[in-house]
Amino acid sequence: MSQKLTQTPFFVDDAALKNLKLVAVAYSHVDRDDFPTQGSYEAELEVEDRAEEVIAEVAKLGVAVKGYAANQYFFTNILVDKPDLVLNLVDTVRGLDGLQPAVPGALELSGIKYTGSGLRGLVLGNDRHMFKQMLIAHDIPTPAYKFIKDMRSRIPEELGLPLIVKLNESGGSVGIDNKAVKETLDSATKKVAQMLEAHKMHVIVEQFIGGPEITAVAYHDGHKRHVFLGQKIFRVKPDGKHNFTSLESYDNAKAYYYKIPDQEVIDLITPLVLRAFESQDYRDYAKFDIRYDEASKTPYFIDCNPNTALGPDKGLPMTEVLGLHGIDFTHLLKSLLSKYAALIK
């Protein structure tokens, strides 16, 4: 059930929107040959449709807008058209999450303003190992884990059981299938070997925290940092035993729904989200995934997306969590655009 707000929470400068002569919507160029598996390719297919939806929403605000695929012609096209602002929706470049920083890098070089995380934030956010190291350095709880480059590394017994096996660099639960949680070291080791071979990418083996899962959305409107939380209520256990979000569950609209967490949980997690947002050098917005251990009352940060999916589709986590708190996509978009439009002289 949504919580209806009596006033809009984000700062919006309607007059500043008139400063925008052209807004570019940058999105991932998706080619099957760029992706190591069919699953990772299919997980990215929605980006063109989402970009079209965002383009339509920007146009409704009376702002000229155009889409740009992040391919080999991206930088040239941007330099020719010289947009006032780039809405950066790029998830992957040449099929790799790790190349996301190429887009803000090109825009920084050209002096063009863009939304979403900068270079450092994307580098940190797209590497689970570095993300977790930063969390540890800033006293933010995260589950114990092992970073594995190849099969010469062994999973330490002290991690305990069960364990969840993930790719070190991936978004949208790519690599987290219905059998990602393992009950024995032997089965976890076999899963690691399979993922190293299939994805040609480093792997994380992490202590699985069995408590409630919280999605945290942070947004900075240029004047204030806001945090909104949604607790996932799972209707389906992907492996029949554990509650978690698998890649397959994205195709099941009934896999889970969100509710607003108890106030005690909100009060505990909110300052940690703000600390994580600032310490990771994120900007504009970010999404964090958190598992809450009810016995110890410890919120464990398990994942983040510093450039999380932006769009009006109510199935997108950020849109869904904000909607839970009575905030629609149009209000978020107006706030985000006007934040940068106000900088135009």
> Using CA atoms, how far apart are residues 192 and 300, in angstroms rounded to an integer?
23
Q: What is the pLDDT of residue 1?
A: 43
Tell whether the model's pLDDT for residue 32 goes beyond 90. no
Q: What is the pLDDT of residue 6?
A: 40
Burial of residue 273 (CB within 10 Å: 0-12, 13-18, 19+) is buried
In this prediction, residues 60-79 reach a mean pLDDT of 95
> Using CA atoms, how far apart are residues 161 and 303, in angstroms rounded to an integer?
19
In this prediction, residues 250-279 reach a mean pLDDT of 94
Q: What is the pLDDT of residue 43?
A: 65
- Counting residues of the chain whose pLDDT is more than 90, the rounded percentage is 77
Taken in order of first residue, the domains within the chain and their CATH numbers are 15-116 (3.40.50.20), 117-306 (3.30.470.20)
Burial of residue 261 (CB within 10 Å: 0-12, 13-18, 19+) is buried
> Using CA atoms, how far apart are residues 19 and 85, in angstroms rounded to an integer?
11
Three-point CA angle 103, 150, 134, nearest 5°: 50
Give residue 4's pLDDT band: very low, low, confident or very high (50, 70, 90): very low
Give residue 172's pLDDT band: very low, low, confident or very high (50, 70, 90): low
> Using CA atoms, how far apart are residues 93 and 247, in angstroms rounded to an integer?
20
Q: Which residues contact 174 (CB under 8 A, 6 or more apart)?
A: 39, 40, 43, 167, 247
Please state the separation of Cα 124 from the chain's center in Å.
12
174-233 tens-digit pLDDT: 788 999 999 999 999 999 999 999 989 999 999 999 999 999 999 999 999 999 999 999
**H helical segments located in 91-224:** 102-110, 119-125, 128-137, 185-199
Mean of per-residue pLDDT scores for the chain: 92
> Using CA atoms, how far apart are residues 214 and 279, in angstroms rounded to an integer?
20
CB distance 283 to 117 below 8 Å: yes
